[in-house]
């Protein structure tokens, strides 16, 4: 079970790290012009497709595996809240991907403040999940 947990944590780091990097990266798009703006968007989309999607799938897969190994955990309130927060992160992941696609059509629509808020919100969600996992206030 320890190695599954290690892969789950690694996947979370890959997924969330990529989302945080991409959101920071996209905040820079507003200051760029021409070809460099397009390159930022292509790089962000590639990161989402390769790292973020892979990290998300692995995170969910290993998380489900951990629950199957200890089904009693599903009755604990902290896990319900954690799963709700994970669902919000998945929704933000999808929104960020679609936002990149729209920016490729209209790169001038990028704003630093939008992606700073996305970055901050993702950070708060991750902090909330870490709090729930380590403190388990609703056990």
Please tell me the predicted confidence (pLDDT) of residue 30: 78
Please tell me the predicted confidence (pLDDT) of residue 76: 95
pLDDT confidence band for 31 (50 / 70 / 90)? confident
Check: CB of residue 123 under 8 Å from CB of residue 41: no
Query: CA angle, corner 102, sides to 58 and 97, nearest 5?
Result: 10
What's CA 72's distance to the chain center, in Å?
27
Please tell me the predicted confidence (pLDDT) of residue 127: 98
Check: CB of residue 102 under 8 Å from CB of residue 109: yes
What does the mean pLDDT of the chain come to?
A: 93
Please state which of the ranges 44-58, 64-78, 96-110, 118-132 shows the lowest mean pLDDT. Answer: 96-110
pLDDT (tens digit per residue) in 32-83: 777 888 888 999 999 999 999 999 999 999 999 999 999 999 999 999 999 9
Domain count, the chain: 1
Q: Is the pLDDT of residue 139 over 80?
A: no
Check: CB of residue 26 under 8 Å from CB of residue 40: yes
- Classified as helix, coil or strand, 32 is coil
Q: How many CB atoms lie within 10 A of CB 2?
A: 6
Rounded distance, CA 110 to CA 31, Å?
9
| Domain residue limits at 99 | 2-135
Please tell me the predicted confidence (pLDDT) of residue 79: 96
SS3 content of the chain, % helix, strand, coil (to 5): 90, 0, 10
Please tell me the predicted confidence (pLDDT) of residue 99: 94
């Amino acid at each position: 079970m320890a190695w599954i947990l290690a892969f789950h944590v690694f996947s979370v780091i890959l997924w969330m790290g990529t989302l945080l990097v991409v959101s920071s990266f996209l905040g820079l798009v507003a200051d760029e012009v021409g070809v460099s703006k397009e390159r930022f968007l292509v790089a962000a989309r590639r990161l989402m497709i390769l790292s973020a999607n892979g990290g998300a799938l692995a995170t969910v897969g290993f998380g489900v595996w951990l629950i199957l190994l200890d089904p009693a955990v599903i009755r604990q309130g902290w896990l319900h809240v954690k799963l709700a927060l994970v669902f919000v992160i998945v929704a933000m992941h999808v929104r960020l991907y679609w936002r990149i696609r729209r920016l490729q059509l209209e790169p001038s629509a990028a704003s630093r403040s939008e992606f700073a808020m996305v970055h901050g919100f993702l950070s708060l969600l991750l902090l909330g999940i870490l709090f729930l996992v380590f403190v388990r206030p609703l056990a």
